[in-house]
Amino acid sequence: MSSSFLSSPLLFSLIPLLILPSFYLPVESAFPSSSSSESSILDNAVIGDPLVDCLEERVKLTFQTQKPFTGRIFVKGMVDNEKCVENYRQNSQTKVEFELANGACNMRRSRKLGPEQRGVEQSITVTISFHDIFITKVDRAYRCTCFYMAKKIFFSENSKKFLKEADKVVTNRFDVSMIPTTELIDTARMPLCTYTVRRGSVNGPIVTYASVGEPVFHVWQCDSDMFSMLVHNCFVDDGAGKDRKPLIDEHGCTNDPIIVSDLTYNSQANLAFTEVNVFKFADKVTTYFQCAVSTCMISEGMCSGKTPPRCGPNNRRRRTTGDAKEIENNSSLSAPFSPDDPFTMDLSAERIHVLDLDDEETGEEAEERRELLKVGKDFPTNSRLGLSTGPYAVSPLSQSTVCFSENIFGAALAGIGLLVFCFPLVTGLLIWRQRKMAKISWHR
């Protein structure tokens, strides 16, 4: 049996998790329907919730429709990739199956390591579209999540070693016997680790908006003093799977010190950070950062030679120009963790909206605007005069105060002045007319 964490199907169990539906707003076509067949396309719908099967090498989505499904299914954000789109124009069945290989079409992969969840989680958003071009009111999008649970790690009191849970093969003839063990979770809680991007300091507010060139801190932290960690295999992508660049290698050293400098670790090596000037992909709005974080138990001597990493220009030059034997014998380099190590987890920082160089509003101003307006994270503005691009803006002093733009204020002031001037004039004319009518009536 292979020792790799994910290469053997016996080392994990497959658990289908939650399907979260999200609804698209209808898109009205500019061209009226010209046939009953076109209108019948929208006279269809998904029945109930689809089923997700988390298989060893692929994820399968099965759903039922009211009428035969003749639309298309695609992965959200990957509609231009023909490998991530499947058309059903000739389909005559109401039961439809859609399959994707694990890791394909920008499938999000995250390794979990904690008391209740230990394994690999993969998620992807699939859109079921009944029209072959437009998104319509009957279309649905589902976030499919699969959790591949790893075997537990035990600490054997007899051998004083860490062991993987043995495979239980139950037959009619034999009972399963296990060596006396104590779960590691009972003696030392597995650390929970986080990856955040912060403004101002390692303890500053989390960044969701930023401007190109703005200094921010990338911070990795585990909440246990019994474990050290190594941050490695980091990359940045644009969220669409088209642009993905490595930032930190398997040893925990930077690939490009101009973009990201080497990390600084604290004395326990359970916190690491680096200051980075915000960057972005050309003509892209968002950036995603993901890293692998491997933990090791300090008391067991598992961290020796692994963390903190020994980087620097000399070591980096040896890794890129030296031969394999020189690298292997160089004690100044950290021994890399295996990507399939059960103590390795994948962590992602929160998505960051990066404003272009010519945007007037800074990332901090955008953060303040978002907090004041409470409108989520997808509506950055570029106005320094207010906190909204419309004629009205919420004052930073109080959300109950309403401010007006100069044009609105000028128009309102002119209207008030005109009203003040006209009101006495109109009142005088009415009084004069009334007296005149009364005088004429008296003479008669």
pLDDT at 9: 39
In 306-436 the beta strands, taken as DSSP E runs, fall at 344-348, 352-355, 392-394, 402-404
The burial of 381, by beta-carbon neighbours within 10 Å (0-12 exposed, 13-18 middle, 19 or more buried), is given as buried
Q: How many CA atoms lie within 13 A of 167 on its CB side?
A: 11
The partner residues of 332 in beta bridges, in order of sequence, read none
- Residue 181, pLDDT score: 27
CA distance 135 to 127: 9
Task: Tell me the per-residue pLDDT of 101-113, one tens digit each, with 9 for 90 and over.
Answer: 888 888 887 776 6
Q: Mean pLDDT of successive 10-residue segments in the chain (444 residues)?
A: 39 44 42 49 82 78 91 88 90 90 82 65 84 82 76 51 40 28 36 90 91 92 87 87 86 91 92 92 85 82 83 55 40 50 80 76 62 46 37 41 72 85 85 80 68
* Locus of tokens 């050293």: 253
Quote the pLDDT of residue 419. Answer: 85
Residue 186 pLDDT: 31
Integer Cα distance of 389 and 369 in angstroms: 11
Mean of pLDDT over the chain: 71
Distances (CA, A) of 16 to 28, 144, 189, 335: 35, 9, 26, 35
Cα–chain center distance at 382: 24
pLDDT given at position 137 = 80
**Which of 269, 268, 227 has its CA nearest to residue 252?**
269
Of 265, 237, 239, the closest CA to residue 252 belongs to: 265
Contact 382, 359 (CB under 8 A): yes
CATH level 3 topology of 191-355: Immunoglobulin-like (2.60.40)
Give domain limits for the chain: 9-150, 191-355
Yes or no: say if 197 and 350 are a contact pair by the CB < 8 Å rule.
yes
**β-pair partners for 244:** 237
What pTM was computed for the model?
0.47
d(C-alpha 114, C-alpha 73), whole Å: 35
Are 397 and 413 spatial neighbours (Cβ–Cβ below 8 Å)? no
